[in-house]
Amino acid sequence: MNILLIGYGKMGQTIGALAAQRGYTVAGIVDRHFSQATIAEFTPEIVDVAIEFTHPDSAFDNVQACLRQGLPVVCGSTGWLHHFEEAKALTQEVGGSLFYASNYSVGVNLFFHFNEYIAAKMSHFGGYDVAVREIHHTQKIDQPSGTALTAAEGILHHFPAKTTWRNAPAETPAELAIISERTGDVVGTHLVTYSSAVDTLELKHEAHSREGFALGALLAAEWLPTRRGVFGMKELLDL
């Protein structure tokens, strides 16, 4: 499999190293700090799939460029989902392939699955409040994290007492608090906590390295090229 890496920061480098271990070829790298190459230089004859991990301000442009170039694209950038409906429409228009996940870790996606299950069950019992907390390294730009937002969306869908989220302590009972912390070189920790006067129930995922995210992105890259449409980890993992 020939891969185009778009973005060559910590995640791009980890994906590139793991791709080599799995016998894949990095056919090109597009990154303004590393290479002057552009997406337009790469065609489906050269590249089987593009993997995009960049910045909220550039992700949508990169996804559009890949789709118009006929390249299946696996996107892991967060903070651009206000353009997601446009990306879906373009994917349909060009008959392309787009895979998006806020987090590519298999463990995190099981965390999402169990988060929705617990929210649905907890909604039947009174006396509990729920909050989300996320902790990341100081270089992470978007806040709250895409993973925290996905967890929050799962709670809002299944826990009717919460109708909206707030990236701060909740000011009303209907608000779901998402508390964001940026410290050190923390890879990523996410917690969903249900608290009552008598007990606390907590669901936690803590990443120890970026390799879990890189592996998930490569699994998506292996899976995507034979398909057309917009997909995510639920389809890949059959959740």
Which domains, from first to last, does the chain contain? 2-100+211-237 (3.40.50.720), 106-207 (3.30.360.10)
- What percentage of the chain's residues is helix, strand, coil (to nearest 5)? 40, 25, 35
For the chain, 239 residues long, the average pLDDT of each consecutive 10-residue run is 96 95 96 89 97 95 97 94 96 98 91 97 94 94 89 97 97 97 93 97 93 94 97 94
pLDDT of residue 21: 95
CB 193 within 8 A of CB 201: yes
pLDDT of residue 239: 86
**Active-site entry in 113, 136, 205, 208:** 136
pLDDT of residue 227: 97
136 is catalytic: yes
pLDDT of residue 228: 98
Secondary structure string (H, E, C) spanning 180-217 = EEECCCCCEEEEEEEECCCCEEEEEEEECCCHHHHHHH
pLDDT of residue 18: 95
CA distance 105 to 94: 29
**Active-site entry in 55, 140, 158, 190:** 140
Instruction: Annotate 100-138 with b (16+ C-beta within 10 A) or e (fewer).
Output: bbbbbbbebbebbeebbebbeebbeeeebebbbbbbbee
pTM of the model: 0.80
pLDDT of residue 78: 86
pLDDT of residue 110: 95
Q: Rounded to the nearest 10 degrees, how much is the dihedral formed by the CA atoms of 162, 163, 168, 173?
A: -50
